[in-house]
Copies of this chain bind each other. A is one copy, B any other.
């Protein structure tokens, strides 16, 4: 089985949580790694199943009630995750910002900028609140990623504010 970034996200989250249902993964991803790499709701159900079939996770299912599936990481999963973490990153990051794409093709900066400024202000405030509340107790990885988010939001803000001001 070919592992994708989403596979590693799920392996990483399950390892961190110890055990997790798809819904727990959804919640965990939403306010952490989801800011960096979105994972679709449906994938949180289909991908763990594939990973379990490949021996990277174990799956345990309730007999009654919601018949929830609970996943745990296996040694094989841990090894795959570690191997990925130690390998150099494949490919380069992409911006993929819909607003910037429109700007490229000639959209009016003054029309785009106010909404973008507001979006980035909100995001920045959210990141900084998280940092203030949990920064001291977060594991290093997520904290560094959060810091990256913060500096980028600052960059975006300065960029769009300049476009909102200039006319």
Instruction: State in angstroms the CA–CA spacing of A96 and B36 once bound together.
Output: 6
A141 contact from B35, B103, B123, B142, Cβ within 8 A: B103
With contact pairs A36-B101, A98-B90 given, residues A141 and B8 touching in the complex (Cβ less than 8 Å)? no
Q: Give chain B residues whose Cβ lies under 8 Å from the Cβ of A38.
A: 94
A139 CB within 8 Å of chain B: yes
Among the stretches A54-62, A65-73, A124-132, A149-157, the one at the interface with B is: A149-157
Q: Are A145 and B9 in contact (CB under 8 A)?
A: no
With contact pairs A37-B101, A81-B105, A88-B115 given, residues A151 and B144 touching in the complex (Cβ less than 8 Å)? no
Q: Give chain B residues whose Cβ lies under 8 Å from the Cβ of A116.
A: 89
Q: Are B93 and A97 in contact (CB under 8 A)?
A: yes
A165 CB within 8 Å of chain B: no
Q: Are A97 and B36 in contact (CB under 8 A)?
A: yes
A103 contact from B144, B152, B155, B158, Cβ within 8 A: B144
With contact pairs A38-B94, A155-B152, A155-B155 given, residues A99 and B89 touching in the complex (Cβ less than 8 Å)? yes
Instruction: State in angstroms the CA–CA spacing of A81 and B109 once bound together.
Output: 16
A42 CB within 8 Å of chain B: no
Residues of A bordering B, CB below 8 Å: 5, 8-9, 12, 32-33, 35-38, 81, 84-86, 88-107, 109, 111-112, 115-116, 119, 123, 139-142, 144-145, 147-149, 151-152, 154-155, 158-159, 163
User: Closest 8 A-B residue pairs measured CB to CB?
Assistant: A93-B97, A89-B98, A12-B105, A104-B145, A89-B99, A85-B107, A106-B141, A155-B155
